[in-house]
A and B are shown apart, each in its own frame.
Chain A
Amino acid sequence: MSDAAIAIEALRFAWPGHPPALDIDSFTMARGERLFLRGPSGSGKSTLLGLIAGVLQPAAGRIEVLGRDMSALSAAARDRVRADHLGVIFQMFNLVPYLSVTGNVTLPLLFSPVRRKTVGDDAEGEARRLLDRLGLSDPGLLNRRVSDLSVGQQQRVAAARALIGGPDIVIADEPTSALDSDARDRFIELLSEEAARTGAALLFVSHDRSLASHFSRAVDLGEINHAQVAA
């Protein structure tokens, strides 16, 4: 099973003081796969991503990320796996307001020697190359405060950040729900292309089932999750 990017078995999770939010028998995602995970609001998508990213700990079951059993690792080791091998894109407000555009893109390198090494000495240059490929080449744009960028631009900066240093898995939690349909399609295209180019597996989460066509495989969280969700 160690050839899988993500492998989940008999996973159970509940927020403290709440009924179980997740109860998943089995879920796998292959390395390099581009997978669409669909589910209505409140169905536990973000919660699942938190578990995969090692920020949350399951009550029971197994989560393997790149062959490592996350629940068997120490908190620090889980943080290390995330730093070295994962890129995360949120729905919005992805950027640290006090960092420049390139500062935001290179942020993961601060916490991961592995990715620092992959990128080499010219982190700024690599950031600009990534931004360029994602359609942010205007030098004037790079000097703007990140809070002055449009939401679509912010999301592309976040994508560049998730991709820098060649992580094995990119997790995108509804990254397009604040974008109009043109920008959304363009964003998904660029993100898929870049993930394919770097060989990263892409786990794309959304409640919008129309996006499934962009991906090679789609999974409905409602179908694999047996927990009674209040939503």
Chain B
Amino acid sequence: MRALLSLAWKSLLNRKGSVLLTLFAVALSVALFVGVDKARTGAREGFGNTISGTDLIIGAPTGSINLLLYSVFRMGNATAEISWPTYEKLAARDDIAWTVPISLGDSHRGFRVLGTNHSYFEHYKYGHNEPLRMAEGKEFDDLFDAVIGADVARELGYTVGTEIVLSHGLGSDFGSGHENRPFRVSGILAPTGTPVDRTVHVSLEAITAIHVGWESGAKNPMSDSISTETIRSFNLTPKSITAVFAGLRQKGTILRTRREINTNKGEPLMAIIPGQALAELWSVTAMAERALMAVSIFVIAVGVVSILTSILTSLNERRREMSILRAVGARPGHIFGLLTLEAGLIGFFGASLGIVIVHVLIAIAGPLVSERYGISLGGTGPGLFDLGVLGAVTLASLLAGAVPAWAAFRRSLADGLSVRL
């Protein structure tokens, strides 16, 4: 076996050019497959890790995936809000232990602004129930204090004390609204690998304050004349909020609580269980994922078939070699083994190269992707999955190699020692 392996190896080296081409074909096909899977699991893990410990998310009636996406992942927009009195009623419910009201809609240089209160820092958890940690400074205290996520600080170079201006809506251009009410960075959160890193947090009152003069939906030209001091004296309790994160006193009541909220008399509400909504999201994307995986498996199959073809086409010019091997004592089984091993080696090294390519790409592009999309691409290095792919591709290659090997086996039986060239 060792002897055959070394023969196979030398034979491949002798045909470096064509073998390398085949090997690259396999490598690229495997890279595509592994890459697709890394992106998929990375997205799932990233999303799954974003929120934990929150039992229910409550918002105005919409699709549950939509509510999840805009409240947790800052994707898309709320179409309606919850009025403050309704929120207060929710917060006062016996079965609800805590609530975090959030208000979305503004932005700062491309980063979303989230209005909330101190309970956010206490109750919002991510990953395995990890709380938010302040890396620098402290939570917002003054009306115009802001707590920024780690990415915001890093990308914009902000430190505690930096003055920032929010803009109305989600446009990233400056001067679109709130420059008359500058904020001061009071704290910077430690990195979480979630959308929190890309969020500017201010108090709910601050959200109300910067919208004084915006009651009509557009800026009232007179509003700039209202001094900040005057605003501080207003009652800044928000009229409405975007959504509520809630924790229950007893997990067992979750379905009943949800039903009661969903059938709320008065203002219509919708409560979702984050894990369930996420599962719903995955069931929507599963079709596309499966299609993508199927395509990449076919691409691998093409790669493996190219191994078969390359060995099969080399067979004629190697007929002489086979009869030499037979003459020095090789059994037909050796000929068969030699060719399957060659195929297996191409498959093995092709798949290995493909996996290395993916991991190198992840190492290079991973930080960029996680920055842009909050998805960490399993940067933990090759894992069991990669090993499985390596094994499966090697096995498939060995099987594919059996086709030319069988042809050579049959031929070596028929040829005898004299090969007519």
Residues of A within 8 A of B (CB): 46-47, 49-50, 53, 55-56, 75-76, 79-80, 82-84, 86, 88, 90, 93-99, 103, 107-108, 110-112, 161, 173
Interface residue from B7, B13, B327, B418 paired with A110 (Cβ < 8 Å): B7
Contact residues in B for A55 (Cβ distance below 8 Å): 326-327, 416-417
Q: Does B219 contact A (CB under 8 A)?
A: no
Interface residue from A96, A99, A108 paired with B329 (Cβ < 8 Å): A108
The CA of A70 and the CA of B325, in the complex, are separated in Å by 20
Q: Does B328 contact A (CB under 8 A)?
A: yes
The CA of A97 and the CA of B318, in the complex, are separated in Å by 9
Q: Does B3 contact A (CB under 8 A)?
A: yes
The CA of A81 and the CA of B416, in the complex, are separated in Å by 16
Q: 10 new A-B pairs (CB below 8 Å) besides A46-B418, A55-B326?
A: A80-B329, A88-B417, A90-B417, A93-B324, A94-B324, A97-B321, A103-B10, A107-B325, A111-B330, A112-B329
The CA of A112 and the CA of B327, in the complex, are separated in Å by 12
The CA of A50 and the CA of B12, in the complex, are separated in Å by 29
Q: Does B331 contact A (CB under 8 A)?
A: yes
Are A107 and B328 interface neighbours, CB within 8 A?
yes
Interface string of B329-344 (1 = CB under 8 A from A): 1111010000000000
Are B327 and A53 interface neighbours, CB within 8 A?
yes
- Return A40 CB to nearest CB of chain B, in Å: 15
Interface string of B226-237 (1 = CB under 8 A from A): 000000000000
A-B contact pairs, 10 of them (CB 8 A): A47-B416, A88-B327, A88-B417, A90-B327, A96-B321, A97-B14, A98-B13, A98-B14, A107-B325, A111-B331
The CA of A173 and the CA of B419, in the complex, are separated in Å by 12
- Return A39 CB to nearest CB of chain B, in Å: 13
Interface string of B1-37 (1 = CB under 8 A from A): 0010001001101110000000000000000000000
- Return B65 CB to nearest CB of chain A, in Å: 59
Are B417 and A96 interface neighbours, CB within 8 A?
no
Q: Does B320 contact A (CB under 8 A)?
A: yes
The CA of A158 and the CA of B362, in the complex, are separated in Å by 52
Are A79 and B329 interface neighbours, CB within 8 A?
yes
Consensus secondary structure, chain B interface: helix
- Return A42 CB to nearest CB of chain B, in Å: 11
The CA of A108 and the CA of B329, in the complex, are separated in Å by 7
Interface residues on B, range: 20 to 34
The CA of A145 and the CA of B241, in the complex, are separated in Å by 80
| Nearest CB in chain A to that of B321: its residue | A96
Are A110 and B416 interface neighbours, CB within 8 A?
no
The CA of A128 and the CA of B330, in the complex, are separated in Å by 23
Are B324 and A95 interface neighbours, CB within 8 A?
yes
| Nearest CB in chain B to that of A104: its residue | B324
Contact residues in A for B3 (Cβ distance below 8 Å): 110-111
If A76-B331, A79-B330, A112-B329 touch, does A96 touch B416 (CB 8 Å cutoff)?
Answer: no
| Nearest CB in chain B to that of A81: its residue | B329
Nearest first, the 3 A-B pairs at minimum CB distance are: A83-B329, A98-B14, A111-B329
Contact residues in B for A84 (Cβ distance below 8 Å): 329
Residues of B within 8 A of A (CB): 3, 7, 10-11, 13-15, 320-321, 324-332, 334, 416-418, 421
| Nearest CB in chain B to that of A79: its residue | B331
Contact residues in A for B330 (Cβ distance below 8 Å): 79, 83, 111
Are A98 and B10 interface neighbours, CB within 8 A?
yes
Are A83 and B320 interface neighbours, CB within 8 A?
no
Are B418 and A50 interface neighbours, CB within 8 A?
yes
Are B331 and A96 interface neighbours, CB within 8 A?
no
Are A93 and B418 interface neighbours, CB within 8 A?
no
Contact residues in A for B13 (Cβ distance below 8 Å): 98
The CA of A97 and the CA of B12, in the complex, are separated in Å by 11
Are B11 and A98 interface neighbours, CB within 8 A?
yes
Are B417 and A50 interface neighbours, CB within 8 A?
yes
Contact residues in B for A49 (Cβ distance below 8 Å): 417-418
If A98-B11, A111-B334 touch, does A50 touch B329 (CB 8 Å cutoff)?
Answer: no
| Nearest CB in chain B to that of A103: its residue | B10
- Return B1 CB to nearest CB of chain A, in Å: 11
Interface residue from A46, A47, A75, A88 paired with B328 (Cβ < 8 Å): A88
The CA of A8 and the CA of B325, in the complex, are separated in Å by 25
Contact residues in A for B418 (Cβ distance below 8 Å): 46-47, 49-50, 173
Are B321 and A161 interface neighbours, CB within 8 A?
no
Contact residues in B for A95 (Cβ distance below 8 Å): 324
Contact residues in B for A112 (Cβ distance below 8 Å): 329
The CA of A110 and the CA of B334, in the complex, are separated in Å by 11
Contact residues in B for A83 (Cβ distance below 8 Å): 328-330
Interface residue from B14, B321, B328, B421 paired with A108 (Cβ < 8 Å): B328
The CA of A46 and the CA of B326, in the complex, are separated in Å by 14
Contact residues in B for A82 (Cβ distance below 8 Å): 327, 329
The CA of A93 and the CA of B320, in the complex, are separated in Å by 7
Are B328 and A53 interface neighbours, CB within 8 A?
no
The CA of A74 and the CA of B388, in the complex, are separated in Å by 40
The CA of A47 and the CA of B420, in the complex, are separated in Å by 12
Contact residues in B for A50 (Cβ distance below 8 Å): 416-418
Contact residues in A for B327 (Cβ distance below 8 Å): 53, 55, 82, 88, 90
Contact residues in B for A46 (Cβ distance below 8 Å): 416-418
The CA of A30 and the CA of B194, in the complex, are separated in Å by 87
The CA of A80 and the CA of B324, in the complex, are separated in Å by 15
The CA of A79 and the CA of B331, in the complex, are separated in Å by 6
The CA of A110 and the CA of B328, in the complex, are separated in Å by 9
The CA of A55 and the CA of B414, in the complex, are separated in Å by 9
Contact residues in B for A79 (Cβ distance below 8 Å): 329-332
- Return A226 CB to nearest CB of chain B, in Å: 21
Contact residues in A for B7 (Cβ distance below 8 Å): 99, 110
The CA of A18 and the CA of B62, in the complex, are separated in Å by 83
The CA of A111 and the CA of B330, in the complex, are separated in Å by 6
- Return A166 CB to nearest CB of chain B, in Å: 14
Contact residues in A for B332 (Cβ distance below 8 Å): 75, 79
- Return B414 CB to nearest CB of chain A, in Å: 8
